[in-house]
Amino acid sequence: MAINVYRMDLSNHREREEAISFLQANHLQPEPLDTAFALRDTNQRLIGFGGRAKDVLKCFAFDPVYRGQALLDPLISELITDAFTNGIEDLLIYTRIEYRDLFSHFRFTEVAHTDTVVLLHRGTHTPQAAMDALLLAIQPEETVGAIVMNANPFTLGHRALVDTAAKQVERLLVFVVERDASQLPFADRIRLVQEGVADLPHVSVVPSTRYIISAATFPSYFLKEKERGNAEHAKLDAAIFARYFVPRYHIGKRFVGEEPADPTTALYNAALANILPPACEVIVVPRKKSGHAPISASTVRALVKARDWKAVRELVPDTSYRYLRDRYD
């Protein structure tokens, strides 16, 4: 049977709707993609699909009638070639667990998996290499805790979480989400965190790497203001943290803020609590409040948009306040 592979034009309404319908028929939710390729049979019927978002290959789906045939090879070959053409040689694949072994002869190896999904990698930027680049020296006898935060921007709520955690450990690692998918760029967010905790000598602020809350491990995290996060994304991110970061840095406590309102963060906290123990205890810290409401970065962003600087001043450290005034006023 002749199979044709071609690049789909997702800016074309008809092709985009065809791709969405095909993914949904295969129990997948459409996600933003930079490029996509499709397989068609001799009748031009869509029988296979795969896409790329930056360095992550994803959204692989195949017509059940043709799954026994070699559909993946031409599709993955086109995606790899396209990535190389765009200067991307280090690749990740996010896909269903049943597709895991199909990618092995393309030199993809497993990073981590859940019951239903798997993250694969090809290249030199492994989790071990990413952690090496952080240059964190941890003494084996130290009690170590960790926080992961987006800090968009860094608020007094974030500072309260750090203060609470720092009192319970000898070394606290604060991983700032590295992906630039927030209102504030990563370089500014991590600087605000570093400035906001500069008086705490045993607190280290570092990038999260591509292996903590990234487009590969937890893509729906960045859609949380529009839709509910995906439970499998949360489980995968937690599994990676447990497999690599906990043993590498002897992390015995993971601190998270209590989350009564945001379903995606609540889902993530639940995944951490189910997966990290007993090696790493998950400690839920009550949120710092202003009045009767928890302090949140989303509230600060809304106040900045309204130019209510008096209210902003009450919710953020001086360093964040000066930055926000300089950037937006």
Indicate which CATH number applies to the domain containing 100.
3.40.630.30
Task: Supply the pLDDT for residue 67.
Answer: 64
Same domain, 81 and 34: yes
Same domain, 317 and 280: yes
Point out which residues pair with 203 in neighbouring strands.
172
Q: How does the average pLDDT of the chain come out, rounded?
A: 90
Alpha-carbon span 102 to 106, nearest angstrom: 8
Interior angle at CA 46, CA 41 and CA 48, nearest 5: 90
323 pLDDT above the threshold of 70: yes
The model's confidence at residue 36, banded by pLDDT at 50, 70 and 90, is very high
Identify the CATH number of the domain in which residue 160 sits: 3.40.50.620
267 pLDDT above the threshold of 90: no
Same domain, 310 and 192: yes
Same domain, 234 and 272: yes
- 147 CB burial (10 A radius; 0-12, 13-18, 19+): buried
Residue ending a domain, among 90, 124, 158, is: 124
Same domain, 28 and 107: yes
Task: Supply the pLDDT for residue 231.
Answer: 82
Residue ending a domain, among 91, 124, 157, is: 124
10 pLDDT above the threshold of 90: yes
Same domain, 160 and 305: yes
Instruction: For the beta carbon of residue 44, count every other beta carbon within 10 angstroms.
Output: 8
Same domain, 241 and 292: yes
* Residue pLDDT, tens place only, 109-160: 999 999 988 999 999 999 999 999 999 999 889 999 999 999 999 999 999 9
Task: Supply the pLDDT for residue 220.
Answer: 55
- 6 CB burial (10 A radius; 0-12, 13-18, 19+): exposed
172 and 147 Cβ atoms separated by less than 8 Å: yes
15 pLDDT above the threshold of 50: yes
Residue ending a domain, among 124, 142, 167, is: 124
Domain span holding position 14: 4-124
Same domain, 213 and 313: yes
When divided into structural domains, the chain yields a total of 2
Task: Supply the pLDDT for residue 241.
Answer: 97
Task: Using DSSP bridges, classify how beta strands 109-113 and 117-122 pair: parallel, antiparallel or unpaired.
Answer: antiparallel
Same domain, 284 and 318: yes
Same domain, 110 and 152: no
118 and 97 Cβ atoms separated by less than 8 Å: yes
Same domain, 101 and 28: yes
Alpha-carbon span 90 to 95, nearest angstrom: 17
Same domain, 163 and 183: yes
Mean pLDDT, residues 260-269 taken together: 81
The model's confidence at residue 228, banded by pLDDT at 50, 70 and 90, is very low
